[in-house]
Amino acid sequence: WDKHEVKTIDDAYFYDNLEDPYQKNKIKLEDNPDVSEKLLSHLAKLLEKTNDPWFKEKKYSDLIPYL
């Protein structure tokens, strides 16, 4: 889907792999902002560390807190 020049992410979520190992229940970012902030911050650091194209372009910066 990324090849279609998507500019925003309309639906972002994560799963609780301990309580929901089969990933049947999506957790919206806004439903758990503390965990979401930590996960997205970690994602930003990993994207920077690997010099990922998303980091280079600051893709989805409205969601991912790049430094």
| CB contact at 8 A, 40 and 48 | no
Summarised one tens digit per residue, pLDDT across range 20-37 is 999 999 999 999 999 999
Q: List beta partners, residue 28.
A: 13
Does the pLDDT of residue 61 top 80, yes or no? yes
Summarised one tens digit per residue, pLDDT across range 3-19 is 666 667 788 999 999 99
Q: Is the entire prediction scored with pTM above 0.85?
A: no
Quote the CA–CA distance of 45 and 28 in Å, as a whole number: 21
